[in-house]
Chains A and B, each alone.
Chain A
């Protein structure tokens, strides 16, 4: 059973709203990642962190921001949601950078 949790599972929100997607893991993993998954299946890395106070942008440009104040918590924030942000967001963690453990995802719809 994966010990990485994402909330909410589903979110429908209006354009211009600020949202925070939560991701927490209880495994003590230093490395954490955020992926955006489009309807075509592909996984796009948007942010990652290798430890507390360390965050980096991923391969896909994103208007979202992240923070890593605690090892177990890696929230993603959108200051002003737009319809183009509608997607599935997946959080993952890893101890060594090899096998990732993924959360169940948050499906975001911006109307």
Chain B
């Protein structure tokens, strides 16, 4: 089955700096790649997603890039703010299958 590796497991950045989280997947048939943000005491919330026919997608300060050849995708957060502190999960999915989640990255933005 699909395997998703996520790195780093923890990430500490200074407010205003950029944060990058990387994920690799194993199933070349995967075609959907969402990112979730989980704040303390809440469930994960979808923040951005990308499909395999697109190389990059942006939404304000967050962007996701996909390299299908290398089977990896990344989340980029620019101009980080304290409210960006949370746990982030990547996931991948092949058609008809369930999402497979990465292990999570705990992001701390220091003021």
Binding site for B on A (CB under 8 A): 2, 6, 33, 40-43, 45, 48, 59, 90, 92, 97-105
> Which of A41, A99, A102 touches B43 (beta carbons < 8 Å)?
A102
Give Cα A40 to B87, complex, Å: 11
Digitize B84-109: 1 where CB-to-A-CB distance is under 8 Å, 0 elsewhere: 00010100010011110101101000
Q: CB distance B104 to A98 under 8 Å?
A: no
> Which of B1, B43, B87, B99 touches A90 (beta carbons < 8 Å)?
B43
List, in ascending order, chain A residues with CB within 8 A of B9's CB.
41
List, in ascending order, chain A residues with CB within 8 A of B93's CB.
97-98
The 10 A-B residue pairs with the shortest CB-CB distance in the complex, in nearest-first order: A102-B43, A41-B104, A43-B101, A102-B44, A99-B46, A104-B43, A42-B103, A105-B43, A103-B43, A90-B43
Q: CB distance A41 to B103 under 8 Å?
A: yes
Q: How far is the CB of B52 from chain A (nearest CB, A)?
A: 12
Chain A CB within 10 Å, residue with most, of B42, B43, B46, B106: B43
Chain B residue nearest in CB terms to A105: B43
Chain B residue nearest in CB terms to A102: B43
Given the interface pairs A41-B104, A42-B104, A97-B93, the reply to whether A105 lies near B42 with Cβ below 8 Å is yes
List, in ascending order, chain A residues with CB within 8 A of B87's CB.
41
Give Cα A83 to B61, complex, Å: 42
List, in ascending order, chain A residues with CB within 8 A of B106's CB.
41
Given the interface pairs A90-B43, A99-B49, A105-B43, the reply to whether A33 lies near B98 with Cβ below 8 Å is yes
Digitize B6-50: 1 where CB-to-A-CB distance is under 8 Å, 0 elsewhere: 000100000000000000000000001010100001111110010
Q: CB distance A90 to B44 under 8 Å?
A: yes
Give Cα A40 to B36, complex, Å: 16
Give Cα A103 to B45, complex, Å: 9
Give Cα A41 to B89, complex, Å: 9
